[in-house]
Structure 1
């Protein structure tokens, strides 16, 4: 029976990671697949990761090289902002997340596997079952919307030059196929064959960058949702400690010793704290980069939408919604874990603790004290991440935009 329970738990957890695993496989990694054993499989996985690393790193470096090139030429503000500064910031975050996934791959795999030990499989409490069903349903919806919107946005960028080129040709207007991104190359990228090669490189590199972003974001979203869900179910278990059900269906306070039940919920609580700390440790650096660059990205893309690049306006609009959604998702799930971890202490207070013997009360007291220390994500320990962080990012973005707008109007 325990083995069956573990298999069912892993199947359900792996099911929630299906879309995440699809993108992680594209970059040569996985948290749920079997570890490659054969020499050929190891070469294939290594080749996939090296390809992703090379494409994303070359794209990011070339974007910053182009920005430095423009600054060296003392270009105007319009030219500088039109160089896709926001894309360079996005790729920087993607590159950081790729390195994080690779460096912490064993930790993530362990967290996924260990979560099966306390996964709610055979829940009898109707409230706990309702919490599980609601959380999983909401998670699937959010995953689908976030992934669909992000992929649609990158393909708008990739196909816009082609669509414009075909439109001009249909109107018998002289036209050349442009480029997807603004990158610097140490050679003439407009020559025949070279131009086509560069266009394919930029298209594929952009897709890999999005794969890195989605791999990290969807995994963070999924695991954070699971931790939040299990914290909510834990609160239900705490509130019903020592409560037995009589023959007529009425709940009566259990005066007997329920020490074993208390130890079980304490173990679950400690494991959830450990899982949360593992995620916090893994994503701490990325969260810092995310917070610092998101404000700049939002500011730059807003400037481009309003004043520059009318032909790329649709792609930029998708980009800004994706950035707002991505940052909002991180802050929202981090805020949920923070609030639910604090609510555990409220659940202890609302339990039937006054009917327990002194031994049980001492155990609950220790849990109460530990739960008053909130579980939260940070940006390299500089600040905790909550919904207030999201508000701060938006406020900072608006301040940057106002400064750029004032400078642009003066010129």
Structure 2
């Protein structure tokens, strides 16, 4: 039996893991444990940054700072998601339409989570394995470094402490990357659900204009159509309230992260560093860029989809309807002119043009850092 919910199974598992799925067992305890773990890791990461802060070694600073800022962004995203959590009902009318939406949501979720998981692999254990293969004869344990730069009050370079921390970092990085991918997939799933409801509304508009309904009950059908439109608007506003400040942090924070990672890539290529460094930086760069692109594309897609309602009403045979009912549909057109969208902190709309601006700004910062270096 196909899953008709637009929330795919991987997204549901991720929400249950961090205690944000409605009615999940020990939700608050799971969330507290996960967030406390992130706080501890962040403490040792920022300790490393402050301890090794040296403007004469900009590549090392940008390398560790980029990953640290990315983890901080993830922490604030989970915090905002928790503060804005709520239960909601999902209307699964027109099962065939929603099944197609659910299938698309499942595929998108799997792709986004997989990309983040692969980036985490190359960032942590993948780099260590490749370095071990390239330098199998290394005997100086003190030169061994963990993939995630952290400053501890004790020596972690000795075996088996180093191996234990290496495995712990790998699991932490893999889980965190998957959860971040899940949050992005949640946004896409919600946008696709709104899209499916808009498609259903457009089908209703077509059936009304084609007189498939009894003229005696058409006014009731139009009233239900307006109620459905209002529910779509309300759901879109709830999504906007949930992701607005997440999007604002994402745009501002990821601009710096993309800048730092892009600078590391340029330096590693110009210095002919090992392929491991380049693979790690490029995979991380792709994952971070994908996060910003998903937000901007979701906002652009929602705006375009909301405008299609007015187009559907305009292209219908509304002129064959009684004037009183046709005038009601005119109000639907007027309301649809105010497009649905996702904003960054209720300041700017998320569009593909905004994504282009972010990439340009990041490239400018990289040029400045390269000139300083």
Same fold (TM over 0.5): yes
The counterpart of 1:145, out of the listed 111, 116, 120, is 111
CA deviation map 1:59-87 (0-9, x unaligned): 2343333323333x55422231232x221
- Report the alpha carbon displacement of residue 153 of structure 1 after superposing the two structures with TM: 1.3
Number of the residue aligned with 2:359: 394
Number of the residue aligned with 1:48: 30
- Report the alpha carbon displacement of residue 232 of structure 1 after superposing the two structures with TM: 2.8
- Residue 86 of structure 1 pairs with residue 52 of structure 2: no
Q: Is the 8 A contact 1:242 1:256 kept in 2?
A: no
Number of the residue aligned with 2:8: 17
CA deviation map 1:267-291 (0-9, x unaligned): 1111111111111101111100111
- Report the alpha carbon displacement of residue 254 of structure 1 after superposing the two structures with TM: 8.1
Number of the residue aligned with 2:218: 258
Q: TM-score, normalised by structure 1?
A: 0.80
- Report the alpha carbon displacement of residue 380 of structure 1 after superposing the two structures with TM: 0.7
Count residues with an aligned counterpart: 366
CA deviation map 1:78-122 (0-9, x unaligned): 231232x221222122112211232222x2x31xx2x22x5422x
The counterpart of 2:81, out of the listed 80, 101, 105, is 101
Structure 2 residue matching 1:241: 3-state secondary structure:
helix
- Report the alpha carbon displacement of residue 200 of structure 1 after superposing the two structures with TM: 3.9
Number of the residue aligned with 1:209: 176
Q: How does 1:5-404 map to 2 (within 5 A)?
A: 12-13=4-5, 16-31=7-22, 35-36=23-24, 41-42=25-26, 45-71=27-53, 73-83=54-64, 85-105=65-85, 107=86, 109-110=87-88, 113=89, 115-116=90-91, 119-121=93-95, 129=97, 135-164=101-130, 166-167=132-133, 170=136, 172-176=137-141, 177-190=144-157, 194-244=161-211, 258-308=218-268, 310=274, 311-404=276-369
Q: Is the 8 A contact 1:338 1:376 kept in 2?
A: yes
Distance 1:30 1:214 in 2: 16
- Report the alpha carbon displacement of residue 173 of structure 1 after superposing the two structures with TM: 3.0
Structure 1 residue matching 2:21: 3-state secondary structure:
coil
Gap regions ≥5 residues in structure 2: none
Q: TM-score, normalised by structure 2?
A: 0.88
Q: Is the 8 A contact 2:14 2:182 kept in 1?
A: yes
* More displaced stretch, 90-99 vs 332-341: 90-99
Gap regions ≥5 residues in structure 1: 1-7, 124-128, 246-252
